[in-house]
Amino acid sequence: MTRPDLRGRNPGWRAWPGWALLLAATVASLSTVESASEKIMPADARQLVLVTTADWNSTKATLRTFTRAADGWHRASAPVPVVIGRAGAAWGIGLNPPQAGSGKREGDGRSPAGMFSIGTAFGYAAAENTQWPYAVMSADDYCIDVDGSPLYNRIVDASKVGSAAIAGSTEPMRRDLHSGGDQAYKLGFVIEHNPRGTAGAGSCIFAHLWKAPDSTTAGCTAMSEPVMQALVAWLRPRDHPVFVLLPTAEYKRLKAAWGLPDLGES
């Protein structure tokens, strides 16, 4: 069909079916985008670990937990202090769409902001009080933080991948054995930032134990041992928990679109 001449006596764009189809498709596309933005929170997520900071450069943060029922989110525990990266936070790669602003980079000392799946729990003990998948760490376990390695951002067993594969890694998972008795990884879990291992985008992001309330991390979220023990005991695979870290201003901006709870809810 020949496109009508809109400059002449043609009755106009409304009379051309192609325009109607194009308009309908555009509206449908916009509706899809809006619907997608409203479904950032996975529909099956019924547990939320939420960390908020005062701003992008703050190293101190607050952790809250929530459970979701048919009538929405409800607080599961009282707010507790935690610490994050020594340089604050930057946007990470997770479940949410990319955001405008600085992104997490390897070695930048920033914790990834965004929404993330929660990976395996890990620790030094042979067993823990948890229903969440738990892996016992050995002296051969390393997280590969070597940019360019084919194993980047993965926890591997040196006895299986070989000593050459872990060369240069600064992340032994048994820090008590390799780093002067360090207890940071005595208990923790993986925060699934950069799950595809994009080069240079940051690696080995965990929730783990802090050294002290005024300490910082290289990019993880750290807390006291009692808080971590309670958190790991609370996680349930059937409730598909997610981890969210956001500065307060970003939390307010994204709260509705991401389906996040009211921080004032009791």
pLDDT in tens, 149-167: 999 999 999 999 999 999 9
Report strand pairing: 187-191 vs 242-247.
Answer: unpaired
pLDDT at 48 over 80: yes
**pLDDT of amino acid 256:** 95
Q: What is the pLDDT of residue 2?
A: 34
Per-residue model confidence (pLDDT) at position 18: 42
One-letter amino acid of 246: L
Q: Are 114 and 104 in contact (CB under 8 A)?
A: no
Return the pLDDT at 264: 76
Cα–Cα distance for residue pair 118/206, rounded to 1 Å: 9
HSE, CB side, 13 Å, CA atoms: give it for residue 229.
9
Q: How far apart are CA 24 and CA 211, in angstroms?
A: 58
pLDDT of residue 202: 98
pLDDT at 65: 98
**Given a cut of 70, is residue 102 above it in pLDDT?**
yes
Give the pLDDT band (50/70/90) at residue 22. Answer: very low
Average pLDDT value for residue range 16-20: 38
Bridge partners, residue 155, by sequence: 143
Q: Are 190 and 205 in contact (CB under 8 A)?
A: yes
Segment 109-143, tens digit of pLDDT: 999 999 999 999 999 999 999 999 999 999 999 99
Q: Does residue 248 register a pLDDT over 90?
A: yes
183 and 176 in contact (C-beta within 8 Å)?
Answer: yes
Which secondary-structure segment (H or E) carries 36? helix 17-37
pTM to 2 decimals?
A: 0.85
β-strand pairing of 242-247 with 47-53 = parallel
What's the mean per-residue pLDDT of the chain? 88
Cα 232 from chain centroid (whole Å): 16
| DSSP string over 182-246 | --TTSEEEEE-SSTT--TTS----EEEE-SSTT--BSSSEEE-HHHHHHHHHH--GGG--EEEEE
Q: Token digits for 232?
A: 């790991």
Angle at Cα 90 formed by Cα 166 and Cα 207, nearest 5°?
55
Dist CA 48 CA 236 (whole Å): 11
58 has pLDDT over 70: yes
